[in-house]
Structure 1
Amino acid sequence: MQIEVNEIARRVEGRVCGDGARVVTGIQALDAAKESDISFFADVRYADALAHTRAGAVIVREETAGFEGPQVIVANPQVAYAKVASLFQRPLPRHPGVSPEACIHSSAQIGPGASIHPLVFVGEGAVVGEDAVLFPGVYVGARARIGARTVLHPNVSVLHDCIVGNDVIVHAGTVIGSDGFGYVRDGGHSVKIPQIGIVQIDDQVEIGANNCIDRAALGRTWIRQGVKTDNLVQIAHNVVIGEGSLVVAQAGISGSVKIGRGVVLGGQVGIADHLEIGDGARVASQSGVMRSIEPGEAVNGSPAMPHRQFMRMAALTARLPQLNERVKKLEKMIEALAPFVKERT
């Protein structure tokens, strides 16, 4: 693809400083870019890379003397980068229609323009929306519904009765609708509680690779519109994740947790069952959440506590060796003074 810098600026609502007629054919990081590439600069830590880059043009927040070529000035270089990168992204490989090597139940409905690759299974009564793409190894269970323009990457499993909305991306190896972890103890035995609910994933959601999203015991596990999850995320039965929330890699969300809108869960966060995480809350990486969190609250640590409190404790923890030495010295001084105290008493 070839595109003028002027056209890039138009698409990202920016302005050009320099030769807007310069043509670029790709996008790369500053240190890897060639003269035919556009790059972006959003962090002063990369000022040296900007000064030495061979890029033909750059996207920046404000005009900089550190680069002599054309510059696209935007309010947010990261957002502009994402938009420009999509211009150069190669389209997904699509199988023309339904592969004869796919296994499609006679009662399943396949929408117009859907791309069904070889070795896909679509079960009884399932529905696949128009222009959806199902890569090899995808399993769509009985009565499951896949929305329009949704992409299921290799070896994704959408089990029976689950619902995946429109414009959803599910990355390789994810399982949607496995049984929730529900047992009741009967003496020394664990009796399985039937998991008869579903998983519902709303529109514009993106699920990372190797996620496990459990079906509800009753009702639904619900991933609401615009949620994005990273790889290796566990979402237990009857969890609800609110619109626009982000869940980073290796997070684990226990059963019946209710997560509000715009929440960010850092990597390796663990949340105990039946808690509520308020709208806009932020949970730092490796935090263990044992209580409900108020809207807008930022927490850190295990057990999780207000972020500022955690930082004060972390600072004190770093000083523990010195404080321990001071305590030992004070103990010795007290021992040395003890005989004099006894004489006076």
Structure 2
Amino acid sequence: MALSVHHIAEKVGCSFRGDGETLISGIAPLETAQAKHISFLANPKYARLLDQSAAGCIIISENLTAIKPGTYLLARNPYYIFALVSQLFYQPVSTPDGISPDAVLEEEVQIGNDCSISPFVYLARGARIGDRVTVYPHVYIGQNSIVGDGTLIYPNVTIRENVTIGKRVIIHSSTVIGSDGYGFAQEGERHYKIPQTGEVIIEDDVELGAGVTIDRGTLGPTRIGRGTKCDNQVHIAHNVTVGDNSLLIAQVGISGSSKIGKSVTIAGQSGLVGHITIGDRTIIAAASSVTKSFPAGSMISGLIPARDHKKAKRTIASLFRLPNLINRVNSLEKILKDKGLMNSGPTKTHED
């Protein structure tokens, strides 16, 4: 399939500069693109690559002026336009239509129109599947769980009982939704399991990466807000609420009953304790250990505990100055001792 630059610009809603009749048949990085490819430049620090690229068309910022002659799509947000252009050339993997005879359907299962239910899918009693849902092999959907229209579920996903999945959700392989929350009551030396009788609600347009685990609530629901995207190996504990359009990057862990606001970004390997609230539009830097609540618009970083990013930077900068400071103190002590103004003897340190 080949599309003209003029046609692509119309489809994605932006203007172009150069030869609108240039035909594009694919997408490639700036470094390897050829005349048949479209590429993009989202970060200005890589602008030097424009001169080296052989791409037939390049998506650039409309504010970028110092460029060589060529054909360009001009965008306010180049990365967003790249996403739209990618969809024009994306060819999804074909799946069998209808319900495979090798799928298992218990009683009272409901399946909507134009669905693809692959071999070895197991739909438990009372499960309800909306229209245009694609379910790949070896997926389990538990009793009374609901899957909304247009949702895509990749192989080996487990969706336990009483889980509600919204519309246009994408769930990648090996994700588990509705596993028991980590709830135990201690009596003496033993730990007694608390039955986890709540549910999980995944709202519309959520994407869950591979190996994500989302626990059901102990009593009420665990809820993932509309448009939120979870990277691989994220863990969300029982009764957590994640607001709309948030981003949870790889290996993030959120403990029980914490509330995450809207449009929050939590970078990789960050951990949050339970029963805290993170305000809207907060950014948590990678590998942060968050032990308390933060208001909307915060920037947080640091290990045990994480704190305001500016304070964390000052703390780290101070740590780097410690060796020089210790040397200065030792020199001053030596001067004082030499002048008889200080008793001799070993200097106490924190290690002592």
TM-score, normalised to structure 1, is 0.96
Deviations 1:104-127 (A, max 9, x none): 213211111110111111111101
Over 3 Å counting, the alpha-carbon distance change for 1:324 and 1:138 in structure 2 is same
**1:308 corresponds to:** 310
- Output the CA distance in 1 between the equivalents of 2:140 and 2:293: 36
More displaced, 208-217 or 305-314?
305-314
Contact 1:144–1:160 under 8 Å retained in 2: yes
- Output the CA distance in 2 between the equivalents of 1:339 and 1:91: 81
Trace 1:242-253 onto structure 2 (pairs within 5 A).
Answer: 242-253=243-254
- Output the CA distance in 2 between the equivalents of 1:47 and 1:261: 33
- Output the CA distance in 2 between the equivalents of 1:18 and 1:284: 41
- What is the CA distance between 1:11 and its match in structure 2? 2.5
Count of residues in Structure 1 that have an aligned counterpart in Structure 2: 342
- What is the CA distance between 1:341 and its match in structure 2? 9.6
SS in 1 for 2:177: strand
Q: Which runs of 5+ in 2 are unaligned?
A: 345-352
Indicate whether 1:318 and 2:311 are aligned. no
Amino acid across the alignment from 1:327? V
- What is the CA distance between 1:339 and its match in structure 2? 5.4
Over 3 Å counting, the alpha-carbon distance change for 1:98 and 1:67 in structure 2 is farther
**2:349 corresponds to:** none
**2:348 corresponds to:** none
Trace 1:195-344 onto structure 2 (pairs within 5 A).
Answer: 195-302=196-303, 303-338=305-340
Amino acid across the alignment from 1:197? G
**1:174 corresponds to:** 175
Deviations 1:27-83 (A, max 9, x none): 111012111000111223323322111111111113545433211111111111111
**1:149 corresponds to:** 150
**1:25 corresponds to:** 25
- Output the CA distance in 2 between the equivalents of 1:325 and 1:20: 67
- Output the CA distance in 2 between the equivalents of 1:165 and 1:209: 18
Deviations 1:271-301 (A, max 9, x none): 1110011111111111111111111111111
- Output the CA distance in 1 between the equivalents of 2:309 and 2:284: 9
Over 3 Å counting, the alpha-carbon distance change for 1:340 and 1:10 in structure 2 is closer
Give me the identity figure in percent: 41
SS in 2 for 1:185: strand
Over 3 Å counting, the alpha-carbon distance change for 1:108 and 1:332 in structure 2 is same
Over 3 Å counting, the alpha-carbon distance change for 1:336 and 1:193 in structure 2 is same
SS in 1 for 2:99: coil
Over 3 Å counting, the alpha-carbon distance change for 1:5 and 1:340 in structure 2 is closer
- What is the CA distance between 1:23 and its match in structure 2? 0.8
- What is the CA distance between 1:334 and its match in structure 2? 2.0
Q: Which runs of 5+ in 1 are unaligned?
A: none
Moved over 4 A (4+): 339-342
Deviations 1:121-154 (A, max 9, x none): 1111101111000011111011111111101111
Contact 1:226–1:243 under 8 Å retained in 2: yes
- What is the CA distance between 1:90 and its match in structure 2? 1.1
Contact 1:38–1:57 under 8 Å retained in 2: yes
Amino acid across the alignment from 1:9? A
Please, what is the CA RMSD of the aligned residues? 1.5
